[in-house]
């Protein structure tokens, strides 16, 4: 009922105004009263005129006070003030005031950044002037929110909640407006795929498109899910495939994020596209190939999208999730194609890093120096391949995906492992200096043993594939780490699950070597289990 009385908007009263704005922060009613007074008296434009005067006169004290005043007005968190402050007439003045933070040695560049954002947004093909204005306003509000939001520990939960709601409401209006414009997204996709589109323009389009998809995901409304499904049919997936192959890290990252949203929202549509691609073309890059290449050939470690790409790939090749888009027969046909064309792309870095060519060294009489030179070079190459950190990370990701395939594609993966002798090649990595890679190799073997498949067990024993595992136990006997725990769990699983074929193989071939690891009772348990099994067999024979 009673508005706050404002001091005259004059230079020598700036300290008084700043004190007033700060004093109402703890009173909800006084904040409302001050906001109404500022709106009714047209006070904000007057303050921005004083800003121009102070900046022209290089009045640093006045500029610091105006920073406190404008930030304090934003902290009132009232929509009636946001509409004024984010308008075309006031936004640059507001951003200018926020450049003169007393805590900074040099002023910021907020006005320049806002002008750059506005210029870049001109590339977005929107015909409706009101919708374009709403997009500009939402972008300004987001930028101002980013620069004024304090550390979470400094203020209570829900601080600036009205500003959050204001931005969300603006985005919802933009979303509805874009959905009504049937020509908008075809125009965006055409610009993204056009070779003449400048890199900065493409980045801005991708940024806008990614925000649109992220906001749609956050709303979780049925109509928006249907709209994303319709977008997939407009040619979004071929466009994303092309963009994910670009050298521009920002574009590639945004394309990966959008594909992730689509997989989350409309997995059936993406799987349908992938399966259709697999049936139609044997040559040429396919979406699933592009995802695998980004996982295995990522030239940018800072990209940080490996986990996201792995989740996308797992979703696309998961038979249970495919049932929403295909029959059992179609899924089996797709897996045939996947193991015929794509699995080799996934395993290529693993097979390259564990090549046995370095073992093949021929002795030549009176050529010891030549032999030593070749041995050293090839051994050094192996160490480089296996122990380069980036390569080790890629190999760990590949092994995680292959472990997924062991469980989900039992028939196809078994044939592939046996034909390629894949487990033997993988266990070479047990000697890597990177323990996480050695652990990944061990987990791959653990998944195979976990299936308790007789064919796998014969393959393991015939190839003596427990030898690198036992060597790892002996190397880690005095260490307590994840690798040691995983090794013990593997042998404990074999003992508890009573897999006689493997128990007999371990005891008959490695009992002497494991005698030195007496503090682990698992190995004694395996020996006991073996002797019991042998006694039972003798009784049956008798």
pLDDT tens per residue across span 379-417: 444 444 445 788 888 899 999 999 999 999 999 999 999
Percent with pLDDT over 70 in the chain: 85
Percent with pLDDT over 90 in the chain: 32
Please identify which residue in the block is written with the tokens 């004093």: 23
Using 50, 70 and 90 to split pLDDT, how confident is the model at 533? confident
CA distance 459 to 502: 11
Using 50, 70 and 90 to split pLDDT, how confident is the model at 441? very high
Whether pLDDT at 506 is above 80: yes
More confident residue, 499 or 402: 402
**Six-digit token pair at 201?**
């323009």
User: Mean pLDDT highest for which of 67-81, 176-190, 507-521?
Assistant: 67-81
**Six-digit token pair at 288?**
């699933």
> What is the reported pLDDT for 69?
93
HEC states along 124-180?
CCCCCHHHHHHHHHHHHHHHHHHHHCCCHHHCCCCCCHHHHHHHHHHHHHHHHHHHH
The stretches of 245-266 forming alpha helices (DSSP H) are 249-265
CA distance 469 to 449: 13
For 232-282, the pLDDT digits (tens) are 667 888 889 999 988 888 899 999 998 988 888 778 888 888 888 888 766
> What is the reported pLDDT for 511?
84
Q: Is 93 strand, coil or helix?
A: helix
CA distance 312 to 263: 7
> What is the reported pLDDT for 482?
87
Stated pTM of the model: 0.76
More confident residue, 298 or 272: 272
> What is the reported pLDDT for 158?
63
Please identify which residue in the block is written with the tokens 């999730």: 321
Using 50, 70 and 90 to split pLDDT, how confident is the model at 362? very low
From residue 524, give the alpha-carbon distance in Å to each of 308, 407, 462, 502. 43, 30, 23, 15
**Six-digit token pair at 323?**
């049932």
> What is the reported pLDDT for 188?
83
> What is the reported pLDDT for 371?
43
* Cβ atoms < 10 Å from Cβ of 239: 19
> What is the reported pLDDT for 368?
42
For 167-194, the pLDDT digits (tens) are 888 888 888 887 787 788 888 888 888 8
> What is the reported pLDDT for 70?
93
Q: Cα dihedral sign for 272, 274, 277, 278? A: negative
CA distance 463 to 113: 63
DSSP 366-392: T-HHHHHHHHHHHHHHHHHHHH-HHHH
> What is the reported pLDDT for 228?
62
More confident residue, 124 or 236: 236
Instruction: Provide the b/e sequence for 459-498 (b: ≥16 CB within 10 Å).
Output: bbbeeebbebbbebbeebeeeeeebbebbbebbbbbbeee
Lowest mean pLDDT among 64-68, 302-306, 325-329, 498-502: 302-306
């Amino acid at each position: 009922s009673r508005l706050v009385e404002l001091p005259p908007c004059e230079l020598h009263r700036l300290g008084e105004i700043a004190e007033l704005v700060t004093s109402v922060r703890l009173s909800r009613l006084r904040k409302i009263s001050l906001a109404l007074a500022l709106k009714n008296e047209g006070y904000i434009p007057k303050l921005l005129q004083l800003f121009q005067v102070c900046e022209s006169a290089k009045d640093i004290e006045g500029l610091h006070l105006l920073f406190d005043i404008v930030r304090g007005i934003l902290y009132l968190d009232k929509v009636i003030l946001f509409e004024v402050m984010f308008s075309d007439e006031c936004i640059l003045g507001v951003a200018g005031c926020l450049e003169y933070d007393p805590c900074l040695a040099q002023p910021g560049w907020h006005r320049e950044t806002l002008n750059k954002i506005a210029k870049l947004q001109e590339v977005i093909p929107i015909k409706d002037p009101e919708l374009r204005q709403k997009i500009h306003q939402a972008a300004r509000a987001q930028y101002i929110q980013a620069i004024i939001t304090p550390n979470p520990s400094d203020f209570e939960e829900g601080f600036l909640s009205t500003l959050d709601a204001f931005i969300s409401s603006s985005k919802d209006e933009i979303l509805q407006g874009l959905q009504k414009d049937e020509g908008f997204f075809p125009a965006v996709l055409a610009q993204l795929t056009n070779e003449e589109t400048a890199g900065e323009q493409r980045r801005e389009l991708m940024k806008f498109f990614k925000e649109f998809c992220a906001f749609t995901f956050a709303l979780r409304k049925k109509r928006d899910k249907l709209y994303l499904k319709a977008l997939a049919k407009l040619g979004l997936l071929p466009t994303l495939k092309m963009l994910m192959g670009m050298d521009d890290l920002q574009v590639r990252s945004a394309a990966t994020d959008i594909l992730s949203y689509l997989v989350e929202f409309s997995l059936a549509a993406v799987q349908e596209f992938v399966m259709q691609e697999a049936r139609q073309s044997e040559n040429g890059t396919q979406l699933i190939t592009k995802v695998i290449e980004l996982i295995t050939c990522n030239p940018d470690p800072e990209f940080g999208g490996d986990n996201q790409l792995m989740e996308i790939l797992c979703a696309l090749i998961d038979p249970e999730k495919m049932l929403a888009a295909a029959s059992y027969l179609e899924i089996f046909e797709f897996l045939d194609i996947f193991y015929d064309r794509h699995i080799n792309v996934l395993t290529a870095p693993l097979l390259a890093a564990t090549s046995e060519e370095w073992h093949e060294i021929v002795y030549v009489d009176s050529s010891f120096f030549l032999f030593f030179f070749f041995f050293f070079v090839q051994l050094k190459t192996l160490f480089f391949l296996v122990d380069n950190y980036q390569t080790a990370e890629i190999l760990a990701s590949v092994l995680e995906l292959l472990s997924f395939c062991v469980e989900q594609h039992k028939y196809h993966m078994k044939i592939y492992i046996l034909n390629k002798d894949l487990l033997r090649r993988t266990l070479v990595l047990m000697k890597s200096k990177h323990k996480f890679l050695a652990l990944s190799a061990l987990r791959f073997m653990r998944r195979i043993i976990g299936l308790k498949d007789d064919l796998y067990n014969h393959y393991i024993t015939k190839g003596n594939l427990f030898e690198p595992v036992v060597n790892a136990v002996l190397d880690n006997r005095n260490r307590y780490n994840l690798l040691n725990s995983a090794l013990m769990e593997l042998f404990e699983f074999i003992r508890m699950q009573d897999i006689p074929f493997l128990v007999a193989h371990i005891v008959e071939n490695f009992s002497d070597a494991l005698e030195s690891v007496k503090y682990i009772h698992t190995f004694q348990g395996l020996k006991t289990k073996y002797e019991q099994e042998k006694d039972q067999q003798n009784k049956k024979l008798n």
